[in-house]
A and B are shown apart, each in its own frame.
Chain A
Amino acid sequence: MHDSSEHKQERGEAYEEEHVHTVYEEIASHFSSTRYKPWPIVERFLKDRPNGSIGLDIGCGNGKYLTVNPNVYIIASDRSTNLVQIAAKHRPHSAVVADILDLPHGNHKFDFAISIAVIHHLSTSERRIQAISVILDTLRRPTSAGAQGSKALIYVWALEQKGSRRGWDEGDEQDVMVPWVLKGAKGSGDADKTFQRYYHLYKKGELEEDIQKAGGIVLESGYEKDNWWAIAGPRRIEAR
């Protein structure tokens, strides 16, 4: 209580600036060259969107999901200018530089949103819940008249990934630094450079819990290859 939430917020921001944003800016092109295969759940979600839907890809990275469905229009955003420059090349979509907590979009305007491998980079529980609530705010709400609300697909790295290269599992520390090794160019004599990225590894049930705390409804959820995912929607507007 003595630490005002504003202070906490500022610390969270400064921490992420150093341990997330700066790193992605530095490793953008190498990171991008390793990220090209869409995850099946994300692919299915995007392909299921009706033709002409308008959506958001929040924390789009290199924009690998922008190629999945050419019949929807996606406004992608990321904190890293270098990654956005790569993402902006995918037609017919659009990409802008923006912070997940200060998105340049009106509320309740969009038919869908995806946020893939992004929320786990926020360094406090409050900021993660706030980010989910921002995502849910962009979605059209279901109405009592029966109109369907929009949906968001959220993906986070799982703590339970015993079979992965990292080998974390239930009971392990959830807040971790994960190295990214940028190899020096061949023959240049440049040494390899290692960057540390911050992650909050989600444990079973935690993503669903955060969505509820953010005021959303979990429509579907599951586990796919070292990640937890959930499809969430905003609550219905209460009839008065």
Chain B
Amino acid sequence: MKILTLNFLTCARKACKPQATSFPLHPADSTLEIQESDLNIIFLQNILPRLDWPALISITTELGLPGLQAEPPEAEDLVVKEGGAKAEGEGMEVTEKSEESEKEASQLGKDLHRLLIETTIQEGKLMCACCGHEYAIKEGIANFLLPSHLV
């Protein structure tokens, strides 16, 4: 279960969904694991507007992960600024960058990739603050099947 996914999950109960407290779900007793993967910076920039940033802040806080900035970053914050802080004296000709493919991730870009895509909850549970129901996460997979009395 990636942290990014938590940004798109609510309680499965119909009665909870309209309630603001059914999102985000609250992780508890979590065992985290880093699963390394290639950084796709364009993808990261593109999903940025789709994130619920306050929800992300509360999830990372509850998981005890490093704090996020209060305001959502802009797409350009995720890449190293053109021309700016480039190290000199590498002895290489700076060639024209083909715009899209060679954008270099900034520290923030790398941090967000690590947080959203690489950090996973392997074991634990997700609690709905609206009804108190807890959904188990086992071997990285969250189970949202409801016991019959809650359907």
List A residues at the B interface (Cβ < 8 Å).
50-54, 70-71, 73, 75, 77, 79, 81, 84-85, 88, 91-92, 94-99, 102-107, 109-111
Inter-chain CA distance A79–B141, complex, in Å, is 12
A-B contact pairs, 30 of them (CB 8 A): A50-B46, A52-B43, A52-B50, A54-B8, A54-B47, A73-B4, A73-B47, A75-B8, A75-B9, A92-B2, A92-B37, A94-B1, A94-B2, A94-B5, A96-B9, A96-B142, A96-B143, A97-B143, A97-B145, A98-B145, A102-B12, A102-B13, A102-B14, A103-B144, A104-B9, A104-B12, A104-B142, A104-B144, A105-B10, A106-B10
Inter-chain CA distance A203–B67, complex, in Å, is 55
Inter-chain CA distance A111–B46, complex, in Å, is 13
Contact A92-B143, Cβ < 8 Å, known A75-B5, A109-B8? no
Inter-chain CA distance A77–B145, complex, in Å, is 11
**Nearest Cβ on chain A to B103's Cβ, whole angstroms:** 13
B131 within 8 Å of A (CB atoms): no
CB neighbors of A among B12-61 (8 A): 12-14, 17, 23, 25, 37, 40, 42-43, 45-47, 50
**Nearest Cβ on chain A to B49's Cβ, whole angstroms:** 8
Contact of A104 among B11, B42, B140 (CB under 8 A): B11
CB neighbors of A among B71-127 (8 A): 117
Beta-carbon nearest neighbor of A52 in chain B: B46
Inter-chain CA distance A94–B7, complex, in Å, is 12
| Chain B residues touching A, majority SS | loop
| Chain A residues touching B, majority SS | loop
Q: Are A106 and B47 in contact (CB under 8 A)?
A: no
Contact of A98 among B12, B14, B140, B151 (CB under 8 A): B12
Q: Are B47 and A102 in contact (CB under 8 A)?
A: no
